[in-house]
Chains A and B, each alone.
Chain A
Amino acid sequence: MKKGIKLALFSAITVLSGSTVASEAEKVSSTSFIDEVCAFAPLVCMVSTHENGGGFEPEKPKSKKED
């Protein structure tokens, strides 16, 4: 079980650090990190899964006060 926790932590750190690198790339260029990866290796993106909404987010619902 401890191994599982270590692995989950390692994976979380890996994903978050990868994303932080991505955010740095975002600051430098208007093209997103993923767009650059896909331009470099289109086959990888073609076979990539499309889970968890693919990074897309819904708009925040407007509060009644705003309406």
Chain B
Amino acid sequence: MAEVLNSIPMPTLLYTAALAIYLFCVKKFTSFSFVFVAIFALNAVHLGVEYLFVSLFNTPQLASFTYYAWYLTFGLTDFIFVGMILFWSKQTNIQLEIVSKALIGIYFSLGVLQIVRLVERLTIDSELMAIIYREGIPFANIVIAILLFGYVFKTVIESVVSNFRAL
């Protein structure tokens, strides 16, 4: 069992644990839990895409393909993620919490950043935009993690307080 746990990356374990704790506290399926699972899936897709493209970088014949596909794949998957959440919310008539709205707003911005950077790199290719891309994406990833774990932490505290009052 310990060997199996060791083979799973630490962030994956932490995200799974956070989602399990959140579901245990709220005891129902909320828009946040749907967004959390969708982010988990998107993270897996993006990691897979990144490994695939990085492995193709050494193939000169595919240089142009990987160059365009890098930005377009990340951008389009971000837009699909946002569209999927909004569609699901509309279909199920479940209102998105403020944190879920903030998360899909960040993903929409990241999708825009990918497409804007591709167009900008093909035309102007400024150093400022390179820095914004290089620093902005990890910064957004950190904000996403803070929002996810912060909201789970807030829910746990609220659950503990309400259970304590009920005693």
Contact = CB atoms under 8 A, between A and B. Distances in A.
Tell me, yes or no, whether A binds B: yes
Interface of A: 3-4, 7-8, 10-12, 14-16, 18-20, 22-23, 26, 32-34, 37, 44-62
B138 to A, nearest CB: 4
A55 to B, nearest CB: 4
Contacts of A48: 11, 138, 141-142, 144-145
Contact of B132 (A23, A37, A62): A23
Interface string B115-152: 00100010001001011111111111111111001000
By Cβ-Cβ distance, the 7 closest A-B pairs, closest first, are A11-B105, A19-B136, A22-B135, A61-B63, A55-B137, A12-B109, A19-B132
A15 B102 CA distance: 12
B136 A54 contact: no
Contacts of B42: 51
B135 A26 contact: yes
A61 B64 contact: yes
**Interface size of B as a range:** 35 or more
Contact of B131 (A12, A14, A22): A22
Contacts of B50: 50, 53-54, 56
Interface of B: 10-11, 14-15, 39, 42-43, 46-47, 50, 53, 57, 63-64, 66-67, 70, 74, 78, 86, 101-102, 104-106, 108-110, 112-114, 117, 121, 125, 128, 130-146, 149
B105 A54 contact: no
Contact of A58 (B39, B67, B132, B139): B67
Nearest to A25: B135
Contacts of A7: 101-102, 104-105
